[in-house]
Structure 1
């Protein structure tokens, strides 16, 4: 299988540098069949279709200043990295052409695990070509390594584009690496809290293969106690044999309590002592001996912190809330929606006849910019299901438009039905005000314009939307 070379074009003697590098690689027995050749959009260089039997693929990069690291980094992420999915053989990077800032960005991306395992770095000189050893372990590289090991499991890009998600992910990366401290993740339904714990949090805590999850909703007190603590034989009627609880099963891994606010109050009180020290001591039901276990604790809730405090035992809430991350809703991270949509499509796609790449069009981009996305990732999953239902080979524009029509039409109906089915009159009223505020902001384009349309203050709308 032939390999690919990736490098910048050097304005001075650029093609000579490329030809020399290809020749030196050939002397080492490395056959390059494809060159991904990055050129500043302003360059007038004329690039031949091939050099030394290698097909040259010019990629013009809109880069105003080749000395600014951040601009180069963002340009590579947006315009180059998506193309690397088409690289079949091994990838080689020639670090030498370009500015020093360009060289630095290659090394930063490599340390972050962006490039596939086995990628080789080279430094080219007029008379030689030397391998570059730059193996730096970072949490980004570790997360991406696990994403590659299980590509069918979608998870957020660890380097988000939107400011809101980037801030949340940065906090998550810091907090998740604090050993022994409980981690609390808040976020609306459908923001992917469970998947985030099973993938990135587990990786950061270096316990990726053992996440024991309890969905706390709908459990009555006795059942929740038995599930968590386990019981000894004969502890109660029907306890014919000993049963290990989830606390014991999580030993050496992560205990994940999802929707922690739904856990019955008596069980919350019992957990206070378990979580108050690092030894995690508890007694199984019917036992007179304490057991000590070792696990990392992660909890999640779809409530904002103010409402969560009303639902949790005060002492338990104090112990769980030291390290708290609030995941933003998808409507607040629209810069990430293109990539989110691709990940959801890849997760939902089971038919080999469906395109590998998620369908895309200007109409879809516009709908994603306007849709209220009250269901967050679940809205994208609904769109994927509709696309698959209307799929017709060779006629993407038609089936995508058909799916979009039904998806947009269902947006208001589904959000309204969700409001009707949720909680007390007071809770439903809060949801209604939040949806009105968020929907108007999405339609009008800003809080200021939304406030003008609804004849109220920006502060009022932001307060209504807080936590939703």
Structure 2
């Protein structure tokens, strides 16, 4: 961990009414509690006449970073939340000694700190403080904020911190496609006992999404079965894996066995790649799902049992193809609530965050940087590459960077990208230029390409919209590259 991440850091807004002196007072009060802050991140609304030197004078002995944020209305919770989430949280990610003074600023700013804390957005161990001035008695004080409310977001982020190798996506994505998918998953998960189907291309992280996102939403433990492991197995043995068996049910069954349905009692049974289930099991699963009491019969048993279990299934097939592969009755029951996880090429705004998470999940020691390497070439690749392997393409790139790092250091990313591009499978000639996936997916990609081409051809979004006789907002939305452009600019100015 770098020194800047390990030192005690104070994060605070500028006090409009109290001035920069509020910062100096808070630091003095923290020192009386034997907390000596060595780094200050000072948030100021852009346009406020505050000089960096004025802040530094109040933070003697501490490194100061002034962040000026554009806020049209500092009383609007959603606007403050978005700015802090997108521009401030990346600055404190991984900080092991973060302290937040929640008092300066508008009431909306106060509330946002509490919301982010409840959602687990801050690094583990972050402490909130409230600095107050008693005008009647002329007394200043600072007190810890005891606010231990937790949400499903905090549980998801806890898993991300403790088990980064199994996490897939940030629970608050920037792209509309992914946000809609996670919103649907959250909404459907609230319905008790209702089967849920999650579909998406290979490599979109369906399994880890179910394990790290859906289980906390349902607040139930999860038992998973990779259905492909049953392919080719003896039908009774495969049936026993899921439903269990009674003693003497078949040769070798010298004692009774609990199946996964029994083991998942009180929790969630997750059937991964459900289309690989043998047909005989699919029919028995229909019986389980259509019964509100979730009754089932183990192999060789003379009576039925009940299970308090939710069933979630996943498949890399589209709903159209899956309807042909599954038993018709089973498909009808599973598809009542279905969520499509979009491929990465439909979520361009999220790809820089995806890259960071993939890097963190694969990094094992200090031989490579803790922070994921980023440069303009990488951002261009994330903005344009087909990424047909989805997260697996990012994993491959991360491994290549790690392989080059001992020899190339900071140039490893450039070397790895070159090798990564050379090894990408070529598109067939008849589909080049039309993207990947279904018709709707290809249309999305075509519109994105057309918008960017028009912008390049006519110079500005306004002129491009006039030339194509459409609304400028439509072109900007089609391009969906604004978030990546901002990140490139930020990285460039930092260098």
Per the alignment, do residues 19 and 362 of structure 1 end up closer, same or farther by CA in structure 2, a change over 3 Å counting?
A: same
Distance 1:363 1:271, change over 3 A: same
Q: Using the alignment, how far apart are the partners of 2:292 and 2:453 within structure 1?
A: 45
The equivalent residue for 2:341 is 327
With normalisation by structure 1, the TM-score equals 0.83
Q: CA deviation at 1:337?
A: 0.4
Q: Sort the Cα spacing of 1:225 and 1:261 in 2 relative to 1 into closer, same or farther, 3 A.
A: same
The whole-number CA distance in structure 1 between the counterparts of 2:454 and 2:7 is 56
SS at structure 2 position matched to 1:256: strand
| 1:400-440 residue CA offsets vs partner (Å, 9 max, x unmatched) | 12211222233233x66xx9xxxxxxxxxx96978876765
1:96 to 83, 95, 103: 103
Q: Flag structure 2 segments of 5+ consecutive residues without an equivalent.
A: 1-5, 134-138, 456-495
Give the deviation of 1:241 after TM superposition: 4.2
Query: Which residue is 1:166 aligned to?
Result: 179
Structure-2 residue corresponding to 1:342: 356
* C-alpha displacement of 1:158: 0.8
2:88 maps to which residue? 80
* 8 Å Cα contact 2:94-2:123 kept in structure 1: no
Asked whether the 8 Å contact 2:96–2:125 carries over to 1, the reply is no
Contact 1:66–1:101, Cα closer than 8 Å, also in 2 = no
Alignment check: 8 A CA contact 1:50 1:56 kept: no
1:92 & 1:350 partners in 2: Cα distance?
28
- 2:151 corresponds to 1:138: yes
List gaps (5 residues or longer) in structure 1.
420-429, 450-468
C-alpha distance 345-149 of structure 1, shift in aligned 2 (>3 A): closer
The match for 1:113 is 120
Q: How does 1:19-418 map to 2 (within 5 A)?
A: 19-48=24-53, 49=56, 51=58, 53-67=60-74, 68-89=76-97, 91-126=98-133, 127-129=139-141, 130-208=143-221, 210-216=222-228, 219-220=231-232, 222=235, 223-392=237-406, 395-397=409-411, 399-413=412-426
CA distance in 1 between counterparts of 2:438 and 2:110 reads 52
- In the TM superposition, what is the alpha-carbon distance from 1:351 to its structure 2 partner? 4.3
Classify the secondary structure of the residue corresponding to 2:329: helix
Task: Measure how far apart 1:50 and its partner are.
Answer: 5.7
CA apart distance, 1:394: 6.0
What is the CA–CA distance in structure 1 between the aligned matches of 2:284 and 2:40, rounded to whole Å?
Answer: 62
Q: Structure 2 vs 1, CA of residues 117 and 345 (structure 1 numbering), >3 Å: closer, same or farther?
A: closer
Contact 2:71 2:80 in 1 (8 A): no
- Give distance in 1, aligned partners of 2:266 and 2:218: 11
Q: Which moved more, 1:320-329 or 1:143-152?
A: 143-152
Classify the secondary structure of the residue corresponding to 2:423.
helix
* CA distance, structure 2, for counterparts of residue 447 and residue 246 of structure 1: 53
Give 1:460's aligned residue: none
Higher mean displacement: 186-195 or 280-289: 280-289
Match of 2:20 among 11, 15, 23: 15
Deviation at 1:448, TM superposition (A): 10
Residue-by-residue CA offset, 1:350-369 (whole Å, 9 max, x unaligned): 34301111111000000111
Tell me the secondary structure at the aligned position of residue 166 of structure 2.
coil
Change (3 A) 1:184 1:444: same
Cα 1:93–1:368, aligned 2, differ >3 Å: closer, same or farther?
A: same
Query: In angstroms, what is the RMSD of aligned CA positions?
Result: 3.0
Please name the residue that 1:5 is paired with: 10
- Sort the Cα spacing of 1:371 and 1:444 in 2 relative to 1 into closer, same or farther, 3 A: farther
